[in-house]
Structure 1
């Protein structure tokens, strides 16, 4: 049965354009196969690789929208890019959760006869996932720093007398998710109407930056935890496989020792049998000698006594 892949792709592209560029995560392959079989394991690895590629693509698109957010001054345009970033971030987090679950499902164990192949494939795809996590984390950290600088500039515009400590406190409040107390105090020293209007706009922008920084800080922490979890999984896998390898070496060494003992036992048995035959030969030699001596000693006496028998006396 032929399938119109080009028509399906064009239909998906048109659907995305109609949604004003909103990214819709496509289903990735079919339901995972049974990971206990080798083919099922390889199918799962292939599916995970596809999801990791989509994660990297999402991160690249997030970087593009974040760069646009830093360059635009239009509130509507800024809001559109922010919405795209949030949607892509949510989709990426869902993908990462799926990858983490599937990696744990296909984790090699000692019961697999094809352990060496699974070990290499599992380590490779896990490291690729960790690279994708770190790239996403680095992107979030870089944008968080840029947002903090933007927030600092906006605070200085609205309140030129703000000190470095106050600005650092405002940024720290944003990272910790606390209310923007300092930002809300920006209007207190503003008197003129125009300055108040400008300050009000700046306050709203600062509040948005405050929320962005908090979301980014939360995302960075989640990505850090996920990276450490995957690192622990990989290290634990290496430890388990290392123990299996050590046990294998022990088994081989024990077999070699056993073969040596068996060889020594065979040699000892052969030597014992040889000594038994030697002893038997010596015994038979001694026996033959004794028989010969007895024969030599007694046979001539018997002959002599037979020859000297008395002759019959003459009759009268």
Structure 2
């Protein structure tokens, strides 16, 4: 018969209402909930900004293709490119500073639970890794554009009658003076004049790229320290995940074995009950199967051949020893 527990629940409720510690516990739980809510809102904001940077990188890549495909440099396209690059720089610096602050906050906070600390560190690593991947992609896009601009300069110099190697072009770029490209060139045709103008324009693009790539390099150095400090923690997380996976696999195997043993034990129990219905009294008995030994409900089962009466049961040869 089911027992009515409603009076006990009401009594417990009255006790909690009179307990001053109950409100304190509820307040702590509410504070933890608010902390995690604010934390994940911060994580979502960072993830949104990183996604925006990724979209801007795609726009920059598209503008690079447009500029390279144009016979003449388009000022409007270049202005749009500079705006996109400025937006990327602004967002990247904001994300970088917020990630560093996020790491500092976790190191200084001591009242968080271990679970909250692990969640915070894991989220920090994921965001940092994603940010580094996006910025690395941006760096590769800029390096590829620089290489194509350099090849464009080399082709334009060949049009003007001056053949240069890759090393010579690099030396010209490092000088920072566009006149180095055009000195000694006799401008006699409109095509040559256009080639010289294009060379100077590409040189200006590369100079801007050099500055942007240098800024990215400094940012990567700054982020490398943050990623390195997270390395050991992530290794521990991966180890725990692998160990958990191994435990799950082992538990699954043990469960299958348990089901198999349960089925076998049930079949042996049926045999036991059926044999006990015989007229002759049996205190214990034996039967043969796979050299196994166990106890079941006080009966001694030994899977080894013994002398006694032979009985057939479900295509098994059962040897039973009767005791009078």
- Decide: shared fold, TM above 0.5: yes
Contact 1:170 1:181 in 2 (8 A): no
Q: CA deviation at 1:146?
A: 0.6
In structure 1, the residue matched to 2:179 is 181
- In the TM superposition, what whole-angstrom CA distance separates every residue of 1:92-127 from its partner, at most 9, and x where no partner exists? 000000001111121122624321110111100110
Residue range with higher mean Cα deviation, 59-68 or 101-110:
101-110
Size of the aligned set, in residue pairs, is 197
In structure 1, the residue matched to 2:141 is 139
2:86 pairs with 74, 83, 90, which one?
Answer: 90
In structure 2, the residue matched to 1:223 is 216
In structure 2, the residue matched to 1:66 is 64
2:152 pairs with 150, 153, 157, which one?
Answer: 150
In structure 2, the residue matched to 1:117 is 119
Normalized per residue, which structure has more helix? Answer: 1
Q: Using the alignment, how far apart are the partners of 2:46 and 2:66 within structure 1?
A: 31
Q: CA deviation at 1:238?
A: 4.1
Q: Using the alignment, how far apart are the partners of 1:154 and 1:171 within structure 2?
A: 15
Q: CA RMSD in A?
A: 2.4
Q: CA deviation at 1:199?
A: 2.6
Q: Using the alignment, how far apart are the partners of 1:241 and 1:52 within structure 2?
A: 21
1:43 pairs with 37, 41, 48, which one?
Answer: 41
Please report the TM-score for the alignment, with normalisation by the length of structure 1: 0.57
1:206 pairs with 199, 217, 222, which one?
Answer: 199
**Structure with bigger gyration radius:** 1
Going from structure 1 to structure 2, the CA distance change for 1:40 and 1:238 (only over 3 Å counts) comes to farther
- In the TM superposition, what whole-angstrom CA distance separates every residue of 1:224-270 from its partner, at most 9, and x where no partner exists? 22123212112124458999xxxxxxxxxxxxxxxxxxxxxxxxxxx
Normalized per residue, which structure has more strand? Answer: 2
In structure 2, the residue matched to 1:162 is 163
| Unaligned runs of at least 5 residues, structure 2 | 1-33, 237-324
Please report the TM-score for the alignment, with normalisation by the length of structure 2: 0.56
